[in-house]
Homo-oligomer: A and B are copies of this chain.
Amino acid sequence: MLSASHRVLAQDIHAAHPIPLTDRAALDGFAVMASATVGASSYNPLPLPLHPISAGASIPPGADAVIPLDLGQTQASNLVECIEAVAPGENVQMRGSIAAAGALLASAGTDLSPAHVGMLISTGGTNVEAIRRPGVQIFVAPGDSVIDSNGPMCRALALRDGGAVAEILPVERSRPGFRNALDAAEADLVLVIGGTGPGADDHVAGALVEVGEIAIHGIALRPGETAGLGRTRGGTPVVLVPGSPAACFIAYEMLAGRAVRRMGGHDLDLPYQSRTMVTARKIVSAIGMTEVCPVRCQTADIVEPLPSFGEAGLMSAIGGDGFVIVPEASEGYAQGTRVTVYLYEAVASADRKR
């Protein structure tokens, strides 16, 4: 249950018993029988048996109301002087007043918040059936660079999407290397980074054909043309993403992220705030390719295109405010077109920055 936050409920949760289970004190004070307080005032303090009670504690037998601490004065060791009358049930939270037994507490599909965690535990729901966090296995084929940056980036993305990521495993950039990795993979989704291109040492697609099946290799997405999708022999989905960092980022976002979110029961949409804005300049895209075009916000309503991911790599992501997705059938957008912008930060923060 500790790790239930940001997981998704698999079933409706109903109250197993009335909430609260007993009549209980709504505040710290003294439990009394209301009828015994009739006529009490500061001119006529009435001595009553002393039953101190804490907020949340059950009302003891023989009491039906609570007088607040400041309206009772403890006298001797077993008496409290009451200076204001209370009605029956006053300052008492009645059994079942929050929820009757069987009442719906949270519906299947709810993304569990910290408050849900608190609520469900406190109502005895410690073995809530949440949709389990999908395990994502990340393999990285070494690129030109000695240091792998794609693995940590994809791990951060998968965690964001509600996945569980074990160690990032390096894989030998050869057909047997990829084959052994794919054959040994145990996860809900396998992500292989690198080795997807048409180059001489790009063997991941070939390896996947040998130990499973490849459904798509080469997609009309820019950046990310060489990405692929398939399955291991055991049926585990496999996403192949290019090793070029910007292509890796976008291919993850457009192909893998959605799968991770779906397996965890989360909203399938891209996890960015989207906003309709107007283009300050023409956004150019190749027809026949879905192109992800980085942009920067000029004002709260106007975006300008940045150098493409192909030209400027991840610099266009970290130096920009978001991106526009130009669909396959479009050549881009003329200046002054209203477009949907996916913002890296929430709209509110994007505004504040300027």
Interface residues in chain A, defined as those with a beta carbon under 8 Å from any beta carbon in chain B = 1-2, 4-6, 19, 26, 28, 52-58, 69, 93, 97-99, 105-106, 111, 113-122, 124, 126, 143-145, 147-150, 152-157, 159-160, 197-202, 243-245, 248-249, 267, 273-274, 310-315, 317-318, 344-346, 348-349
A315 touches B119 (CB 8 A): yes
Asked, given contacts A122-B149, A153-B114, A156-B5, whether A313 binds B98 with beta carbons under 8 Å apart, the answer is yes
A199 touches B314 (CB 8 A): no
Distance between A308 CB and nearest chain B CB, rounded to angstroms:
11
B56 touches A113 (CB 8 A): no
B54 touches A202 (CB 8 A): yes
A348 touches B56 (CB 8 A): no
A118 touches B56 (CB 8 A): no
Chain B residue at minimum C-beta to C-beta distance from A112:
B156
B119 touches A156 (CB 8 A): no
A53 to B314, CA, bound (A): 22
Asked, given contacts A243-B56, A346-B273, whether A199 binds B28 with beta carbons under 8 Å apart, the answer is yes
A58 CB contacts on chain B under 8 angstroms: 144
- Pick from B143, B147, B315: contact of A126, CB below 8 A: B147
Given pairs A105-B318, A115-B317, A121-B153, 9 additional interface contacts (CB within 8 A): A4-B152, A5-B152, A54-B197, A56-B143, A56-B144, A114-B154, A117-B152, A121-B149, A122-B245
B121 touches A55 (CB 8 A): no
Distance between A301 CB and nearest chain B CB, rounded to angstroms:
17
A318 to B97, CA, bound (A): 16
Distance between A81 CB and nearest chain B CB, rounded to angstroms:
17
A201 touches B54 (CB 8 A): yes
A346 to B249, CA, bound (A): 24
A54 CB contacts on chain B under 8 angstroms: 197, 199-202
Distance between A168 CB and nearest chain B CB, rounded to angstroms:
8
A155 touches B2 (CB 8 A): yes
A349 to B315, CA, bound (A): 30
- Pick from B55, B311, B318: contact of A113, CB below 8 A: B318
Asked, given contacts A99-B315, A312-B98, whether A5 binds B122 with beta carbons under 8 Å apart, the answer is no
- Pick from B119, B155, B346, B348: contact of A149, CB below 8 A: B119
Chain B residue at minimum C-beta to C-beta distance from A200:
B52
A124 touches B143 (CB 8 A): no
Distance between A30 CB and nearest chain B CB, rounded to angstroms:
11
Distance between A254 CB and nearest chain B CB, rounded to angstroms:
14
Asked, given contacts A69-B198, A160-B114, A199-B52, whether A121 binds B148 with beta carbons under 8 Å apart, the answer is yes
Asked, given contacts A56-B244, A143-B56, whether A119 binds B198 with beta carbons under 8 Å apart, the answer is no
A5 CB contacts on chain B under 8 angstroms: 152, 156, 159-160
Chain B residue at minimum C-beta to C-beta distance from A53:
B199
A6 CB contacts on chain B under 8 angstroms: 156
Asked, given contacts A5-B159, A98-B315, A105-B315, whether A147 binds B119 with beta carbons under 8 Å apart, the answer is no
- Pick from B1, B119, B344: contact of A245, CB below 8 A: B119
Distance between A62 CB and nearest chain B CB, rounded to angstroms:
19
A345 CB contacts on chain B under 8 angstroms: 111
B117 touches A153 (CB 8 A): yes
**22 sample A-B contacts, Cβ–Cβ < 8 Å, listed by A number:** A5-B152, A6-B156, A19-B315, A28-B197, A28-B199, A54-B202, A55-B244, A58-B144, A69-B198, A113-B317, A114-B153, A118-B150, A118-B153, A118-B245, A118-B249, A119-B313, A119-B314, A119-B317, A121-B152, A122-B145, A274-B348, A346-B346
